[in-house]
Amino acid sequence: MELTVFGQFLAQGFTVIVPDTEGQRADFAAGPEYGMNTLDSIRAAFNSSAVGLHSDARVALLGYSGGAIASEWAAELAPTYALDADALLIGAAIGGVLVHPAHNLRYVEGTFFWAGVMPMALIGIARAFGVDFTPYLSPRGLRLYHDMQSTSIANVLGQPRYWRLKWSDVISPAHPTPESLPLFVTVANKLIMGTGGTPTIPLFIGQGANGDLEWTPGNKPGIGAGDGVMIAGDVRTLARTYCARGVTVQYEEYELLSHISAILVWLPQAIDWIKDRFAGQPAPDNCSSIAPGNSLDPLPVR
């Protein structure tokens, strides 16, 4: 699907930049790093004589799931981290969005399809922030931590080894909840979207809300519906937060679709939205109709 999208843009004369969002260490789920790597890739493309971009060329961001992590964090960090790149941006289309990772951990633990991303995320954020979770891991958690250092998400999703994996399976009994492990709280709170700044560009945000299709039970207490791994209420609150800060936002919620199936609807919409930005058309805004969502308050230490 990515090749089809790239080919479509390339055939119409666009330059396509594909950043190594996780970096050379594969810092999985480390949102701010994804964003900075993305902005640095834009800078590199504009500073490369081999690419040959004009200085007045414009850039739109497009990303789903992990790509949405990169595109959203790039948009919110650009005004402070990369003013030169920010001046080039005209919009960001994101879908399947990881807004508050500590919430997502609660959402996916104990599930069949997505639970294996928990140890992957612990490995990724430990690398990104230079912290060591191993003293707090259970014996099973320690085995997973060492075995998954180079594991791809494609080898994790739905695999029997990770079925119904929970926090209590990975972390020692001394820390029965995420809130009881201060080190986790500290790094997880740094990954909450909207805490790094405010985009200066319009956003198109799409989010599925039928996680039952991917064996994640819907409407967990305090979480509500999601797409199987991402939480619709968190994404709505992020959208409303940016609306309140003056950002032009178009938000679409796909109530009948899951994380994987929603991309089939989101992607054509996102492509059309991006083409409209390049065509100079005003960005649509439906801020007034976005329903309230979940609190995005930082995780407390308990």
What global pTM score does this model have? 0.96
**Contact of 111 with 164, CB cutoff 8 Å:** yes
CATH number of 19-44+58-100+201-289: 3.40.50.1820
What integer pLDDT is reported at residue 1 of this predicted model?
A: 57
166-209 pLDDT, tens digit per residue, is 999 999 999 999 999 999 999 999 999 999 999 999 999 999 99
Contacts of 20 (CB under 8 A, 6+ apart): 37, 41
pLDDT at 25: 92
Residues 6+ positions from 85 with CB-CB distance below 8 Å: 39, 42, 43, 59, 74, 78
Q: pLDDT at position 5, please?
A: 77
Q: How many CB atoms lie within 10 A of CB 108?
A: 27
Averaged over 106-120, what is the pLDDT?
Answer: 96
pLDDT digits (tens, 9 = 90+) for 51-85: 999 999 999 999 999 999 999 999 999 999 999 99
Work out the mean pLDDT of the chain and round it to a whole number: 95
pLDDT digits (tens, 9 = 90+) for 30-56: 999 999 999 999 999 999 999 999 999
Q: Are 113 and 216 in contact (CB under 8 A)?
A: yes
- 3-class secondary-structure state, position 23: coil
| Domain residue extents for the chain | 19-44+58-100+201-289, 109-189
